[in-house]
Amino acid sequence: MATSQASQGSQPTAIVCVGMAGSGKTTFMQRINSYLHSQKQPPYVINLDPAVRNVPFDSNIDIRDSVNYKEVMKSYNLGPNGGILTSLNLFATKIDQILNLLEKRTTPDPAKPEVKPIHNILVDTPGQIEVFVWSASGSILLDSLASTFPTVIAYIIDTPRTASTSTFMSNMLYACSILYKTKLPMILVFNKTDVKDAEFAKEWMTDFEAFQEALREEEEAGSFGGVEGTPGMGGGSGYMGSLLNSMSLMLEEFYSHLSVVGVSSMTGAGVKEFFEAVDKKAEEFNRDYKPELERKRKQREADKMTNREKELGKLMKDMAVSGEPSSRKLDTDMDTISDIEDEAEDEEEGDEGLTSRYKQALDESGGAHGETGDDHSFARYIRSSQPNI
């Protein structure tokens, strides 16, 4: 439960909600925010969607207070997605200020013992998942949060739209890509269970034969891909059926690393189970993910120091203060000077020296072998172009 973290006195958990447009992500944020308030554990809420007009909850930090989405679109001549991405990039420059605020609000203040520290951080993201998950600014924001607090990804799925095997597998592949991109613990939240129960999805994730049976039924009914009554949309011997079967086997290991929760944002069903899953994933973060993040951070710092020393060595060598003998450099310089002097002599000699050498060679060849018509023609051209000869 959400109150368990308060009793344990552990670090607050950052819950980053991601999901496709229309999955009910903002409504889910409102529901878990309301639940935490009912548990006397008000969260710290961050809104990272610059294009949303109204949100049904109060945000402690709102990207719209710092970045004007419409002005960004006009100033940089961008479309909707480009405007969201650029707004996130501009907002990411303030990540140090955000972390300072979070650390102040999540740390007990001895001077104000009546003020309770925050135990949950809720982060709402844009509906365009790729804009946040696959962008540099999204990586900066997630990495910064994960380096300070246990961070969990809540992937919101529209359950009614996932009833067909093809859309279900598409969501699973998307979740897989997000998991391996962010490298953070993930909870699959099957939303809108008041419309359709999520038990079928849980069964498909744990029982390969149940998924095969559902796929076979869709093919026989002619509703493969969620289009009913359309024959030829894919068959049992077709490519798509074989592909879905293969992917369901491949993702079996992936499913074992996920927590799955069915939630109704409208009725509030499943929210308690969601926070129980959050507590487990926070423990998993501290046990499995945090050591790996620390190792990567130390590796980046070591690589940065190595590159800095390498660049410093190059600079010292270029400035000839590295202590190495400079005789080789002097020889190279002397050779270069000699080449320059030779070139200067050739320039002083000019066309006159070139013509005299050609004339001498022409006379010698004419004396030995006789002059041809071509030789006479070229010689006449040289003489006509040089009147002083």
Which pLDDT tens digit goes with each residue over 67-126?
999 999 999 999 999 999 999 999 999 999 999 999 988 888 777 777 788 999 999 999
**Amino acid at position 308, single letter:** R
Question: If you search the block for the tokens 């007009």, which residue do you land on?
Answer: 53
Question: If you search the block for the tokens 């093919």, which residue do you land on?
Answer: 219
Residue in 197, 205, 241, 209 with CA at minimum distance from that of residue 222: 241
Which pLDDT tens digit goes with each residue over 187-218?
999 999 999 999 999 999 988 889 989 988 88
In angstroms, rounded to a whole number, what is the distance separating the alpha carbons of residues 123 and 88?
A: 13
Give the strand order in the sheet containing 61-62.
61-62, 44-47, 120-124, 13-19, 151-158, 186-191, 259-262
Residue in 249, 247, 277, 252 with CA at minimum distance from that of residue 262: 277
CB 31 within 8 A of CB 273: no
Question: If you search the block for the tokens 């889910």, which residue do you land on?
Answer: 28
Res 310: pLDDT: 85
H/E element, 189: strand 186-191
What are the residue ranges in the chain where pLDDT is below 70? 1-10, 222-237, 320-389
Question: If you search the block for the tokens 């696959």, which residue do you land on?
Answer: 134
| Radius of gyration for the alpha carbons in the chain, expressed in angstroms and rounded | 36
Both tokens of 143, joined, read 């990495």
CB 43 within 8 A of CB 120: yes
Question: If you search the block for the tokens 């890509």, which residue do you land on?
Answer: 177
In angstroms, rounded to a whole number, what is the distance separating the alpha carbons of residues 244 and 315?
A: 57
Res 373: pLDDT: 52
Res 48: pLDDT: 94
Q: DSSP readout, 258-287? A: -EEEE--TTT-TTHHHHHHHHHHHHHHIII
